[in-house]
Homo-oligomer: A and B are copies of this chain.
Amino acid sequence: MAVSMDDDVPLILTLDDSGSSASAPLDDLDREELPNENGGSYEVINDASSPAAGDCCAQQSSARHNWEMNYQEAAIYLQEGENNDKFFTHPKNAKALAAYLFAHNHLFYLMELSTALLLLLLSLCEAPAVPMLRLGIFVHATLELFALIVVVFELSMKMRWLGFQTFIRHKRTMVKTCVLFVQFIEAIVVLVRQTSHVRITRALRCIFLVDCRYCGAVRRNLRQIFQSLPPFIDILLLLLFFMVIFAILGFYLFSPNQSDPYFNTLENSLVNLFVLLTTSNFPDVMMPSYARNPWSCVFFIVYLSIELYFIMNLLLAVVFDTFNDIEKRKFKSLLLHKRTAIQHAYRLLITKQRPSGISFKHFEGLLRFYKPRMCARERYLTFKALNQSNTPLVSLKDFYNFYEVVGLKWKAKRNREHWFDDLPRTAFLIFKGINILVKSRVFQYTMYTVVAVNGIWILVETFMLQGGNFFSRNVPWSYIVFLTIYGVELLLKTTGLGPVEYLSSGWNLFDFSVTLFAFLGLMALAFNMEPFYFIVVLRPLQLLRLFKLKKRYRNVLDTMFELFPRMASLGLTLLIFYYCFAIVGMEFFAGVVYPNCCNTSTVADSYRWINHTVGNKTVVEEGYYYLNNFDNILNSFVTLFELTVVNDWYIIMEGVTSQTTHWSRLYFMIFYIVTMVVMTIIVAFILDAFVFRMNYTRKNQDSEEDNGIVLEKEISKEEVVGIIELYKRSSATTETTQLQKIVLQMDKYGQMSTLFLGRRSRTKSDLSMKMYEEEIQ
């Protein structure tokens, strides 16, 4: 009997120890005529289950072994589909599989990430180091060598898994190897010479971070940026072309004016028009000529209209359009890739005997590898959710929904509405009352009023204060009053809704943490703890709750949260660019800017630091700009942020230029263009995401609130008993006990079946699927 369940033979056997059959299933990926090949030939190759083999038991165990292999490979295929890994990196034999499994788990990923971070953070301690973190050359070079050796180990594991041929073909890995080689040599040189040389190559360390498994989103962003580049560069050339024309015009028109320092040479003319493009020197650059002839403003108005208001927007339009197009095409190719992965996995899971679908037994085997943490109940529910037909097999068509269904979190649909339903009568009534109160509109609007009053209170209170040290005083009573109200509200809500339901809403979580912070702030005030004063000033954040009131704000804020991961990855991408530029900037400009450094330049005022005595007081006249330097990596980051914001960036540029050569301007201009690219992409991304979402809501106006994806499945008692039987046969005790609990539960409530709810949040991919429905097919 057991044999009749187990002797189904997989249609395809792969990953056997000999490795000879491995390439076969990989080579004919597109074979669609599977069911016709029932008398398949792959199992012959597998020496253990060769037709000549003897007793039933050996055959059975080898079959089981083969199935395990197939499950594992199918799970790998599905993972590759999910992560958009190309199939040519698929492990080809058992040795590769071992390496693959070694290199594909969170421990390994974390190691990858931490070595990359270590390498990046080293620049905090190297040569122009942050004063507090300075390390000896020996120490940081040794650390670097250690990290590089770890990277070598990681790469060797990757090579083992990919094989030499594929390894060579994989571009990103090859670049990484080259960078590693260079870094290695330089680290050794530093260690030997015991002194740091000019190491611009440190800027390349970013590649170790970019290559991390966890930084997939960053890689995607970088790819998108590079794909948007060609049209961007075209328009940029147009921009520069007009700039040159206007520079020549400006030179001819304004250089006769002796008092105009902006156009006296062609180079100045060019540089100033470049800066004018960023508007950073605007009225100033016009003033000398405007003072002489009022009509000269026409030149500047025309220039700005063409360059800033037309071509710059054109740039955005072109990038937005490319972005939009790429996004759509990417979605399509991703969908196709996932489908191919599912096809691969499917072919590994069907049997010779039943080629029309996957049985639960094999599906369960797959999930054991694909999602080891999933419990037996969830596995069965996933299977049931996939299975649209009434047969016990999941067909390929149903299996295509795998990715959508596997992410669902399953929960038995509760019969009891509230957490306090089981409590005694009196308690129940009290809690029920609180629940009704908390859910009532009156309560909500009272709270909004309190928040609004609090807001006005804070505003007025702050307005009344006129500078000085506010915190040394006693705790103001209004603070205590409002905090008490919030505390009571929190308590009521938690008891009325139950802690779990309360904290499942993002807004409640926000309330909770702000109230907690306010409480901590109160503590800080009461006990005079200096370093925590900043918490006190976070109080006004409570006011954000008012934005729950209007639908558009809820929409905007929801979208904001949905976008957050993507925004974070874009920010990280920007930071990576920052890192490269910071390293280059530190190598070239570290220490060139200091107080009173630039007295000969046009921006001398901004770098001034004079300490003179007027009467009996010392007056310090500070330009402060010497603070915007490249003296260590943190300062560089702040300086680069200032350059990103663009305003008055030319002061920083001119300061550095006056201390070095005028070629330094190239660094600043290139940085401007690079951030312009990234910023334009960010704008295009936000535009795209919002317009997409708004179109989506417009299209689905009738469908009520957006609760994510919800699926309902009913399981009857017989079904559970059947699965228990199945698990008992394969002697999986944990699963059996888990499932028996469900049966007990059903017996307790006297039900013949239980309803389960599968739930997950809606992803962009779901939305895209719905939006592009017609186009995809």
Residue positions of A touching B, CB distance < 8 A:
231, 234-235, 238, 241, 244-245, 248-249, 251-253, 255-256, 259, 264-267, 279-284, 287-288, 290-291, 294, 297, 301, 304, 308-310, 313-314, 316-318, 320-321, 324-325, 458-459, 462-463, 465-470, 534, 536-538, 540-541, 543-544, 547, 550, 552-553, 556, 560, 567, 605, 620, 622, 624-625, 627-628, 634-635, 638, 641-642, 645-648, 651-652, 679, 682-683, 686-687, 689-691, 694-695, 698
CB pair B249–A540 under 8 Å, yes or no, is: yes
State the CA gap A638–B296 with chains docked (Å). 11
Among A283, A288, A468, the most chain B Cβ lie within 10 Å of the Cβ of A283
User: In the complex, which residue of chain B has the Cβ closest to the Cβ of A542?
Assistant: B245
Q: What 9 pairs across the A-B complex have the smallest Cβ distances? A: A287-B624, A317-B690, A252-B537, A279-B647, A282-B647, A313-B686, A245-B540, A255-B467, A283-B642
Identify 8 residue pairs between A and B in the complex whose beta-carbon atoms are under 8 Å apart, listed by A's number.
A231-B552, A255-B468, A266-B465, A279-B647, A291-B622, A310-B686, A313-B687, A320-B691
CB pair A317–B462 under 8 Å, yes or no, is: no
**A436 CB to closest chain B CB, in angstroms?**
32
CB pair A279–B317 under 8 Å, yes or no, is: no
User: In the complex, which residue of chain B has the Cβ closest to the Cβ of A250?
Assistant: B537
State the CA gap A627–B297 with chains docked (Å). 12
State the CA gap A468–B257 with chains docked (Å). 8
CB pair B313–A238 under 8 Å, yes or no, is: no
**A465 CB to closest chain B CB, in angstroms?**
8
Given A309-B682, A468-B256 in contact, is the A625-B283 Cβ separation under 8 Å?
A: yes
CB pair A301–B641 under 8 Å, yes or no, is: yes
Given A264-B467, A321-B690 in contact, is the A534-B253 Cβ separation under 8 Å?
A: yes
CB pair B245–A467 under 8 Å, yes or no, is: no
State the CA gap A538–B249 with chains docked (Å). 7
Chain B residues positioned under 8 Å from A648 (CB to CB):
282-284
User: In the complex, which residue of chain B has the Cβ closest to the Cβ of A563?
Assistant: B310
Chain B residues positioned under 8 Å from A458 (CB to CB):
248
CB pair B540–A459 under 8 Å, yes or no, is: no
Given A283-B628, A317-B687, A642-B282 in contact, is the A241-B543 Cβ separation under 8 Å?
A: yes
Chain B residues positioned under 8 Å from A620 (CB to CB):
259
Query: Given known contacts A309-B682, A317-B690, what 18 new A-B pairs fall within 8 Å (CB)?
Result: A234-B550, A234-B552, A235-B556, A241-B543, A248-B462, A249-B538, A249-B540, A252-B462, A256-B469, A283-B628, A283-B651, A287-B624, A288-B624, A290-B624, A294-B635, A310-B560, A316-B683, A324-B691
User: In the complex, which residue of chain B has the Cβ closest to the Cβ of A550?
Assistant: B234
CB pair B283–A556 under 8 Å, yes or no, is: no
Other-chain residue from B318, B536, B540, B638 in contact with A297 (beta carbon distance below 8 A): B638
**A672 CB to closest chain B CB, in angstroms?**
14
State the CA gap A247–B624 with chains docked (Å). 22
Chain B residues positioned under 8 Å from A635 (CB to CB):
294
Chain B residues positioned under 8 Å from A543 (CB to CB):
241, 245
Copies of this chain in its oligomeric complex: 2
User: In the complex, which residue of chain B has the Cβ closest to the Cβ of A464?
Assistant: B266
Chain B residues positioned under 8 Å from A541 (CB to CB):
245
User: In the complex, which residue of chain B has the Cβ closest to the Cβ of A246?
Assistant: B540
State the CA gap A623–B380 with chains docked (Å). 78
State the CA gap A283–B470 with chains docked (Å). 27
User: In the complex, which residue of chain B has the Cβ closest to the Cβ of A688?
Assistant: B317
**A330 CB to closest chain B CB, in angstroms?**
16
CB pair A321–B252 under 8 Å, yes or no, is: no
Given A314-B690, A321-B691, A543-B245 in contact, is the A252-B283 Cβ separation under 8 Å?
A: no
**A671 CB to closest chain B CB, in angstroms?**
15
CB pair B266–A627 under 8 Å, yes or no, is: no
State the CA gap A695–B321 with chains docked (Å). 8
State the CA gap A641–B301 with chains docked (Å). 8
CB pair A691–B317 under 8 Å, yes or no, is: yes
Other-chain residue from B266, B467, B682 in contact with A462 (beta carbon distance below 8 A): B266
CB pair A627–B238 under 8 Å, yes or no, is: no
State the CA gap A256–B468 with chains docked (Å). 5
CB pair B645–A279 under 8 Å, yes or no, is: yes
Chain B residues positioned under 8 Å from A468 (CB to CB):
255-256
CB pair B234–A553 under 8 Å, yes or no, is: yes
State the CA gap A534–B635 with chains docked (Å). 47
CB pair B294–A634 under 8 Å, yes or no, is: yes
Other-chain residue from B245, B294, B304, B467 in contact with A265 (beta carbon distance below 8 A): B467
Chain B residues positioned under 8 Å from A627 (CB to CB):
287, 290-291
Given A284-B648, A645-B282, A687-B313 in contact, is the A537-B624 Cβ separation under 8 Å?
A: no
State the CA gap A641–B282 with chains docked (Å). 11
Given A470-B252, A540-B249 in contact, is the A556-B314 Cβ separation under 8 Å?
A: yes
Chain B residues positioned under 8 Å from A689 (CB to CB):
317
State the CA gap A120–B175 with chains docked (Å). 66
Other-chain residue from B297, B552, B687 in contact with A320 (beta carbon distance below 8 A): B687
**A612 CB to closest chain B CB, in angstroms?**
15
Chain B residues positioned under 8 Å from A321 (CB to CB):
690-691, 694-695
